[in-house]
A and B are shown apart, each in its own frame.
Chain A
């Protein structure tokens, strides 16, 4: 158990819909990262937050947005969903801006 909690574990929805994925980092970790893994590919970095502020942005679509709340949990919002958005979405956390990343078990999104 990494200490990072992601909900929901599985989600099935239709094209055009909007979903929210939630992540609770390890206790005390200030950094939260979101990664997308599609079809047995590598993990693609989406976005990083540190203590409530956006820190780095990767290949995140404009239809996707994220935020980190004062209690340090984070949400990834995916809107106008397309079939190609079907993927595993991982959240990770770290104590600061360096150091080991601890990953959650992922949220599997299926868009039909």
Chain B
């Protein structure tokens, strides 16, 4: 049973436009959500996170939105740049999980110049 799902395996957008990556979760105990970015031949790197007490967190071009009632979060990248092309993983954890992250399957973002 996948507790964190990213239903779009890939996404292609034009440079300068908005990229929206989606993530759904089923475990209502999750209270902290993260996005990781992964380039080929590298490990995932932390991008942005959000606590369940918030519905939005912004960091530069990256914004994460959380809809707890729908158990859905999304990552918005505006404007998208070719260097953003990577695989993006959504992850979730709970307060008592000891920092154990449950990851989604990833979405490959391609930003075309």
Q: Does A76 contact B (CB under 8 A)?
A: no
Q: How far is the CA of A64 from the CA of B44 in the complex (A)?
A: 23
Q: Interface residues, chain A, CB within 8 Å of chain B?
A: 2, 4, 31, 33, 35, 40-45, 48, 50, 55-56, 58, 90, 92, 94, 96-106
Contacts of B9 in A (CB 8 A): 40
Contact A42 B44 (CB under 8 A): no
Q: How far is the CA of A102 from the CA of B34 in the complex (A)?
A: 13
Contact B99 A101 (CB under 8 A): yes
Q: Which of B12-20, B52-60, B63-71, B103-111 contacts A (4 or more CB under 8 A)?
A: B103-111
Contact A100 B46 (CB under 8 A): yes
- B44's nearest neighbour on chain A, judged by CB, is A103
User: Size of chain B's interface in residues, with CB distance under 8 A?
Assistant: 22
Contacts of A2 in B (CB 8 A): 43, 45
List of 7 A-B pairs having minimum Cβ-Cβ separation, nearest first:
A103-B43, A42-B103, A42-B105, A43-B103, A103-B44, A100-B46, A56-B100
Q: Give per-residue flags for B1-34: 1 if the beta carbon is below 8 A from chain A beta carbons, else 0.
A: 0101010010000000000000000000000000
Contact A56 B97 (CB under 8 A): yes
Q: Does B102 contact A (CB under 8 A)?
A: yes
A62 to chain B minimum Cβ distance, whole angstroms, is 20
- A91's nearest neighbour on chain B, judged by CB, is B43
Q: How far is the CA of A58 from the CA of B41 in the complex (A)?
A: 25
